[in-house]
Structure 1
Amino acid sequence: MPSSTAERHARFRYLRERSPVHFDADIGGWCISRYDDVRTVLGVDAGGPQPPPKRAIARALKVARPAITMSTVELLDADDATFAQSVAATAAEAFTLTHGVEAFAPSALATTRGFLTNALRALHEHPGQAALLRADPGLAADAVEELLRFDTPVPVAPVRRTPLPVVLSGRTVEAGEVLVPLVAAANRCTVRYPGADRLDLRRRPTGVLSSCGTGAAIARLTGEIALVRRLRATAR
């Protein structure tokens, strides 16, 4: 995997354009990079614990909201790394304690921490977009979705193995093959999102893909609570 975010996205862009269903001998599987193909692959069961029902996730997030808010306020003066780590840990713990499913704690923590880290970096690198969100908190939900799309916190989803032959970008992949969904590549697919390499908090992207739906739900809520507060605090 390329070492920097820019290198990674340059590699993903090359794969999307030149080799969207690419066999990697080192991995022993097919790297999938276009949006529609990755969405298809994510529909294949990867094994592991089944996610909680959407209603249960929504209920747990509602209960977890006060703890996330309090953690955000207490950490506003911390550096970005501490802020992302500590707020994410509180969010993951509050969610898992509320729902009683500890199996999702590691992925929830990794996804939320990665999201906050990536989002704060992107906003620092795009001060005009940061100013837009700081001035208009009503943009928070759309901004979080766009930030999740722009720099996906977990760029590669768990591998799948095809139960049946599947056609991806015109290529037939036989049953039993390993598929590697490059979620970060798919979220910058220009067919789905024109101008995908540009951060635009007014974009209102739909269908943003994630490696872990439960973790992404926690990251979304945490971002909506934390990012505007953080931006306003650092502007003081």
Structure 2
Amino acid sequence: MHFDADIGGWCISRYDDVLTVLGIDPGDPQPLPKRVIAHAVKLARPVITLSTLEMLDADDAAFAQSVAATAAEAFTLAHGMEVFAATALETTHGFLTNALRALQDHPAQAELLRNDPELAKDAVEELLRYDTPIPIAPARRTPDPLVLSGRTVEAGEVLLPFVAAANRCSVRFPGGERLDLRRKPVGVLSSCPTSTALARVTGEIALVRRLRAAAR
């Protein structure tokens, strides 16, 4: 961790510290309850599936854009709140774009997922860790003094959690610079599953179908 004068706050990159910071209320609109998220995702699944099938012949960029937009719209309509629509779209689009690029760059891993769709859930977690769509999470302010990496940060200080750096922690993830769809990781974003719920379900539905269509 270090203090950045331009930002006016502390940049946090250690895995355990980032988890701690993500547990602080960012002061954003009240997050949706997990049961509401789960219900909305369930209702959005058929729409995501149909969109995925309709876009299988498109290039990667168009596929990611269209599927993410459809998923975000279905998700928003399902839970009836537009306040999270932009975030859902941005995160899902970023995830699909990053995941498709990573799988293209790692053909052996792509082949592994293509041949074993049961890996989809773990693959999504690893792809979220490997190239996260949220490299830097929204800043938090310390409500009380907080100890991070042995240093006390006083109340009222700005903390900026570097998610991408934490997800490449060599202690937490040996060989973390490699993509390994069998890793079963617990990346930083696993601690805040609601923010990536739509990206997760969209990836589980879309990626295997996309890989199989590309191999035709």
In the superposition, the TM-score normalised over structure 1's length comes to 0.89
Alignment partner, residue 176 of structure 1: 156
- Counterpart of 1:187 in structure 2 is 167
Matches within 5 A, 1:150-169: 150-169=130-149
- Secondary structure at the aligned position of 2:11 is classed as strand
Matched, 1:69 2:49: yes
- C-alpha displacement of 1:180: 0.2
Q: 2:182 aligns with which of 174, 183, 202?
A: 202
Compared CA separation, residues 175 and 208, structure 1 to 2 (3 A): closer
Q: Distance in 2 between matches of 1:208 and 1:134?
A: 26
**2:115 — aligned with what?**
135
Change (3 A) 1:83 1:211: farther
What runs of 5+ residues in structure 1 fail to find an aligned partner? 1-20
The code of the aligned residue for 2:54 comes to: E
**For residues 116-152 of structure 1, what are the alpha-carbon distances to aligned partners after superposition, in whole Å with 9 as ceiling and x for unaligned?**
0000000000000000000111100000010001000
2:93 aligned partner: 113
| Counterpart residue identity of residue 20, structure 2 | T
Task: Report the equivalent of 2:60.
Answer: 80
- For the 8 Å contact 1:104–1:215, the answer to whether it is kept is no
The CA deviation at 1:31 is 0.4
Instruction: Say whether the 8 Å CA contact 1:157–1:181 is kept in structure 2.
Output: yes
By how many angstroms is 1:195 displaced?
1.4
Shifted more, 182-191 versus 115-124: the winner is: 182-191
Give unmatched runs, 5+ long, in structure 2: none
Residue 123 of structure 2 contacts residue 181 of structure 2 at CA under 8 Å; is this kept in 1?
Answer: yes
Aligned to 2:210: 230
The TM-score normalised by the length of structure 2 is 0.97
Residues 143, 202 of structure 1: 8 Å contact kept: yes
CA drift of 1:206 comes to 2.1
Q: Is 1:123 aligned to residue 71 of structure 2?
A: no
For structure 1, which segment, 101-110 or 202-211, has the greater mean C-alpha deviation from structure 2 after superposition? 202-211
Cα–Cα, structure 1 residues 58 and 133, in superposed 2: closer, same or farther, change >3 Å? same
Q: Percent identity?
A: 77
Q: Deviations over 1:47-98 (max 9, x none)?
A: 1111111111111111100000000000011111111111001111111100
Written as runs of structure 1 = structure 2, the 5 A alignment for 1:49-64 is: 49-64=29-44
Name the Cα RMSD after superposition: 1.3
- Per the TM alignment, residue 38 of structure 1 is displaced from its structure 2 partner at its CA by 0.4
Structure 2 residue 32 is matched with structure 1 residue 47: no
Deviations 1:139-177 (A, max 9, x none): 000000100010000111110111111111111111111
Q: Which amino acid aligns with 1:50?
A: Q
Q: Which portions of structure 1, spanning 4 or more consecutive aligned residues, are displaced by more than 2 angstroms?
A: 210-215
1:214 to 174, 184, 194: 194
Instruction: Give, in whole Å, the separation in 1 of the partners of 2:76 and 2:83.
Output: 8
> d(CA) in 2 for partners of 1:86 and 1:126?
24
* Deviation (angstroms), 1:210: 6.4
Aligned 8 A contact 1:108 1:214 in 2: no
Structure 2 Cα separation of the partners of residues 228 and 215 of structure 1: 22
